[in-house]
Amino acid sequence: MRKENQDSSSSERGIFISFEGSEGSGKTTQISRIAERFEKEKFEVVVTREPGGTAIGESIRHLLKHDDSGDAMFPETELLLFAAARAQLVREVIVPALEAGKIILSDRYLDSTTVYQGVARQISSEPVQAINNFAAGELMPDLTIILDVPVETGFSRVKHRVSDLPDRMELESVEFYEQVRKGYLLLAESMPDRFVVIDGTEPREKIEQRIWDELRLRFS
C-alpha cells in the first residue's frame, strides 16, 4: 500500500487494487471474477465500490445517481459528494481491511473524480487534486486497472442491462464520455507504474486472465 507515513516494514499489510473505466467497461464483471480467483487461493478479499461501500456512501450514491434533487446539482456539489463518500469508505472499510492484510478490490476510486469531475466536467485540477487527497487521506491504490472500451461499446452494454432507467450520470452525452475515456488514457500514460490499461472489448475470460497475469507479476 502506498500511504503517507506508512510502516513499509510491515509484512501484514494487504493490497489495494482499484478498477476504473467508463460505464459498461466491465469493471464489476472482472472484479467478481478476480475476487473468486483470490478466494480460491485462500486470500481474504474485500470488494467495494464507489460511490458507496458504506451506509453513508450508499446514501450519497443514491443522491448522486437517482434522487430527483440531483437534476439541480452543480459540478462542485457533485465533486464534494463523491469525495465525502470516499472519505467514509477509506476510513471505515479500506484502511482497516488493509491493516488486516486483506486484498481490496475497489470498483472505482479517486481517479474517477480526476477524470469525471476534473476532465469531463472541467473543474480545474487544483481543487480536484486537493479534495481527492483530503478525502483519501493520501491513500493511493497499489495498482489501478483501466478497462478501456470505445464509448459506443460501453453504451450498448449498459443499454442491455436488465435494470430500468438510466441514472443521472448515464444521461451525459457521447462527448462527455469521450472525454472520460481520453482522461483515463492520459492519466495512465502519466503514471505507468500504477496503471495498467486493458482492452475491455476482449472476451471476459481473456480479460480476466490478462488481469490475473498482471497481478501475479506485480505481487507474486
* Residue ranges that bind ligand T5A, judged by CB under 6 A: 21, 23-29, 49-51, 82, 107-108, 112-113, 116-117, 157-158, 161, 169, 203-204, 207
Q: Whole-number minimum distance, CB 114 to ligand T5A, in Å?
A: 8
Count CB-CB contacts under 10 A for residue 168.
16
At 167, the amino acid letter reads: D
Q: Whole-number minimum distance, CB 200 to ligand T5A, in Å?
A: 6
Task: Give the residue with the Cβ less far from ligand T5A, 13 or 145.
Answer: 145
Strand partners, 18: 106, 144
Strand order of the β-sheet with 143-148 is: 45-49, 103-107, 15-20, 143-148, 195-199
DSSP string, 21-61: -STTSSHHHHHHHHHHHHHHTT--EEEEESS-SSHHHHHHH
Q: Whole-number minimum distance, CB 110 to ligand T5A, in Å?
A: 7
Backbone angles phi, psi at 164, to 5 degrees: -70, -100
Task: Give the residue with the Cβ less far from ligand T5A, 13 or 118.
Answer: 118
DSSP string, 205-218: HHHHHHHHHHHHHH
Task: Give the residue with the Cβ less far from ligand T5A, 111 or 142.
Answer: 111
Task: Give the residue with the Cβ less far from ligand T5A, 2 or 206.
Answer: 206
Q: Whole-number minimum distance, CB 150 to ligand T5A, in Å?
A: 12
Q: Calculate helix-pair angle for 75-89, 55-65, nearest 10 degrees.
A: 160
Q: Whole-number minimum distance, CB 70 to ligand T5A, in Å?
A: 11
Cell 480526476 -> residue: 114
Cell 437517482 -> residue: 66
Task: Give the residue with the Cβ less far from ligand T5A, 80 or 101.
Answer: 80
Task: Give the residue with the Cβ less far from ligand T5A, 13 or 23.
Answer: 23
Q: Whole-number minimum distance, CB 30 to ligand T5A, in Å?
A: 7
